[in-house]
Structure formats: C-alpha cells, structure tokens
A and B are shown apart, each in its own frame.
Chain A
Amino acid sequence: MGLVILIVVWLITFISAYFFLAKTWWLPVGASAAAAGIDHHFSTTYILMGAVFIAAQVALGFLAWKFRERGTASTAAHYSHGNNKLEIIWTLLTAVLFIGLNLASGSIWASERFRPAVSNATQVEVTGMQFAWYFRYPGPDGKFGATKPELIDPSIGGEGALGLDTTDAASKDDVVSGVMYVPVNREVEVILRAHDVIHSFFIPNMRFKQDAVPGLAIHMHFTPIATGDYELTCAELCGLGHYKMNGMLKVVSQEDYEKWLAAREAEKQ
C-alpha cells in the first residue's frame, strides 16, 4: 500500500508539474507595459512554489513507502517528540520565502496602483451595466459631460444607456462606443463606473482587472504596447448575463485612433 501511495502521489505531482512547465494552458500573451513585470514575477513565484510543491509531495510519497510497517518483528517506530532546531530552521526559511516573494512583488504593485495616470493619458470612461460595457471619450474639450440617472435608458444604447445629459455643453463632443479603441504606446486612463451591480473590467492580455462599483468612479491605468484586438469581459458575478458581458479592446496606431474618433465625432453632427 505504501508503494501504491508513492506511485500515485508522484504521478499526480509529475503530471501536474508537467502541464505547468509545458505551459500547455498558460497566461494569454501579454500586450501591456506592465505584463512583462507581472509575468516575470509570476514565473518566479511558480518556480519557487513549484519546487516546494514537488518536494513536499515527493517527500510524502517517499515517507509513506519507506516507513511502512513490515511484519510484526520489525523495529519500533522512532520515539521522538520533535526537534526544536529543525522547527526554527524551517519556520524561518518559509517566512523568508513567503514574505520575500511578497515584498518583491511590491514594487510592481506600487507602479501599477500607487500613482495616478499621467496627464496626457488617453481617457476612457468605462461603464458596466447588466450586461454590456460602454466606453465614453471626452472629445476635444477633454471634459466628460454630465450624466443623469433619470435619463438612463439601456434600450436605446449608446448615449441613452449612459444617461448622457445632452443639454450640458461638455456632452456635445462626448463619443460613446460599444467597442474600446485606444492608441498604442500611450497610457490609457480608465474611469470605471457601474450602473446597477458590481461588475469587473477584465482585459486578460493587458493584465488588467478592476471591479466597477456602483457609487464609485475608480481611476486606473494601463499602457498597451502592441496593436491588435483583445477580448475583454466581466469578472464579477453580475446576474444571469454575466457570462456574455464581453467586449473588444482594439489597440490601433495613434493615427488610426484619431481617424476613428474623428469619424465618431462627425456622426454626431
């Protein structure tokens, strides 16, 4: 039985480890400035923790086999209540490993979250509602127009879904879109809002995730570094349509972005 335990535990360990090492299913391709740092730290963590995982499971299987009871005449178990020195050693090592890992990630976290967006970032207001994302651009005046909850009507989409107050001067040049367009290599400032319940704005390739909370306007930023189409989705249970609250982030050149925005502005006339 000890041998069976060893074999099964080792098999499970090595098969699991294989799929991690082979990256058969892995993080999506990173396309933001922060992705490299996050992915690097992810790798560090998973190598260190993977080593611990393998060591512990291998030890477990080995010990179960090595110290199995063999016949009635075998020697008694080794009577010992422990070893304080060992306890101290492995406690310290564990503490150093765990807390060290965390402190190492601290600088990345700080750069992502402790500072506001730069002043010339592309501003996009992202609003989540059951079950769609809307994206609003402030337009040439750089100001977001007022919205009023009484004016919200999701059935007409776009400006109606956001409850845009068209009497406000700043609203005149606001562009509302169901697709998120941003220029590459420029920081994007996202202002996250939600109308009804908590949603979460998740762009896997950008390593971006942040809850959109009703009653709050949360400012976050990321910098896309590769053009392309990237799926985005909702990552906080928001009701029956949670699974289909998806969207698309299109990262384009600065030129294409300006063309797109100009075309949207022109439509409003």
Chain B
Amino acid sequence: MASVPTTVPFEAEPIAGRRGGAPPCHGNDGGEGGPFEYGSAAFAQRLRRARLGMFVALSAIAMIFVSFTSAYLVRQGLPTIDPSTATLVHDWLPVRLPPLFLLNTLVLVVSGFTMELARRQTAREAAGTIAASEAPALRTSRSQISWLALTIALGLAFLAGQVVAWRELAATGFYLATSPSSSFVYLLTGMHGIHLLGAVLVLLFAGAAAILRKPIASQVVILDVTGWYWHFMAVLWVYVFCLMKFAR
C-alpha cells in the first residue's frame, strides 16, 4: 500500500517490437485476412494465435469425452432395481468389439505420421521459397499434395472402416439401444467419427487451398493446427478404444 505515492514525469523510452525490433504497429491485428509472409513477425503471431485457439478448442472437446467417460463408468457400475425380483442388479454386459476397430486404429495412427509429413513438407516448402525468392511464395509442390492427399485418404478409410465395424456389430444383434454397453460403443465411436470428419473436411479445404495456389503461409498455419487436431483425434481414438476394451 502506498503511503505517499510518487508521480514521476515519464521519459518515454523506445519500445522494442515483439520480434526483430519492428515497432508494434498493429501487433494485435484482428485475426484472419490480409497477407502475411512466412517467417515474418505477423506469421509467427498468426501461428501462435491459431495454436492457442486450437489448444483451447481441444480442451472443450476433451470435456465432452470426459463427460461421456463418466457417464460410461457410472452406468457400468450402477445397480438398478429389477422390478420382477425387487432386488438390485447390475445389468452391464460388455459387448464384443468388432476386430475391425483394431485395424482402424492402425490406419489412424499411420495417418498421424502422414499428417506430420504433410505439415513438415509444407513448412519446408514455405521456407524454401523464401530462400529462393524475395516475393511471397504462392506456388506449391507435388510431393506436398501427395502427403496431404494420403492423409485425407487414410482419414476417409478410417471413417469407412468405422461404418463397416458398426455394420458388423449390428449383424451380431447389437444396435444402439440393445444394451447399455452397445449404446456407449456407438455413442463414443460416433462422436469421435463426427469430429474426425470435421478434420477431414478441413484437410480437403487445405488441399483446395494448395491447388488454388493460396498463400503458402496460410497453408502452413492451417496444416499446423489441423495437424495438432489430427493427433488429438488419434490419441482420443486410442483412449476410446482402450476404454471400451479394458473398462469392461
């Protein structure tokens, strides 16, 4: 607490920019839109902001699956009255998971690697084109597209595989409402699938951006944050799978 606060005539001192000494002119520009060079201060800021936003978004998605997990565990453990005997019974019967889930897991994990490769390739392209010329690079390369395309293909393969796995489950007589355990299998895998589909759509958009020769710096940012999202989806899938398989 101040006793006699002092007021000090202030000598304005030079203010250094955040990176590289440029004045903080619109250090906080409004976000999207406007060209920015790869490697520039604006690019670093855009990338950092996008990553922060993605991290925040992943926390929200995580909470959705945290709630489903707690519902899963509660439902599994909770006894209920069997009206015909008026006694408490546990009615959780674990459902046999289609083996296809395991193959799909592999597909998704591999796609994580291809996603990484796509991301790094784009970053290298962007760095390469800076070195190659003064002007912002707008071209793209063939090998970059193919990693991205492969990731999209693997993502779609995973989703198709999930649909087939559901068909297998239904063929054994387990539908969404058949039993509590089957309800959760469809619920958990379905919610995960919807979120992954969203990521696939974003990758398609990124692919379109590459083909249409949009600024490479934006492509780098998009692939970077989608990469994080993709890895989260893979980890989330492994988690969901382990939950269904081991918490029985």
Contacts and interface: CB of A to CB of B under 8 A. Distances in A.
User: Do the two chains touch directly in the complex (Cβ atoms below 8 Å apart)?
Assistant: yes
B83 A147 contact: yes
Nearest to B5: A79
B86 A81 contact: no
A79 B2 CA distance: 8
Contacts of A80: 1-2
A82 B83 CA distance: 63
A84 B86 CA distance: 61
Interface in B75-112: 80-81, 83-86
Contacts of B86: 144, 146-147, 217
Contacts of B80: 215-216
Contacts of A79: 2, 5
A146 B5 CA distance: 81
Interface in A137-163: 144, 146-149
A149 B5 contact: no
B1 A81 contact: yes
Nearest to A148: B84
A144 B84 CA distance: 13
Contacts of B85: 146
Contacts, number: 25
A215 B86 CA distance: 10
B83 A81 contact: no
B169 to A, nearest CB: 27
A83 interface: yes
A89 to B, nearest CB: 15
Contacts of A82: 1
B88 to A, nearest CB: 8
A143 B137 CA distance: 85
Nearest to B88: A217
B81 A149 contact: no
Contact of A217 (B1, B5, B81, B84): B81
Nearest to A82: B1
A84 B2 CA distance: 12
Contacts of A147: 83, 86
A83 B1 CA distance: 7
B83 A148 contact: yes
Nearest to A144: B86
Contact of B2 (A81, A148, A149): A81
A80 B1 CA distance: 7
A34 B2 CA distance: 55
Contacts of A146: 84-86
Contacts of A81: 1-2
Contacts of A83: 1
Nearest to A193: B81
A147 B1 CA distance: 72
A159 to B, nearest CB: 15
Contacts of B5: 79
Interface in A201-235: 215-217
A79 B80 CA distance: 63
Nearest to B80: A215
A145 to B, nearest CB: 9
Interface of B: 1-2, 5, 80-81, 83-86
7 contacts: A79-B2, A80-B2, A144-B86, A147-B86, A148-B83, A149-B84, A217-B81
Interface of A: 79-84, 144, 146-149, 215-217
Given A81-B1, A83-B1, 12 more contacts: A79-B2, A79-B5, A80-B1, A146-B85, A146-B86, A147-B83, A147-B86, A148-B83, A148-B84, A149-B83, A149-B84, A215-B80
Which 7 residue pairs across A and B have the least CB separation, nearest first? Answer: A149-B83, A215-B80, A215-B81, A146-B86, A217-B81, A81-B1, A148-B84
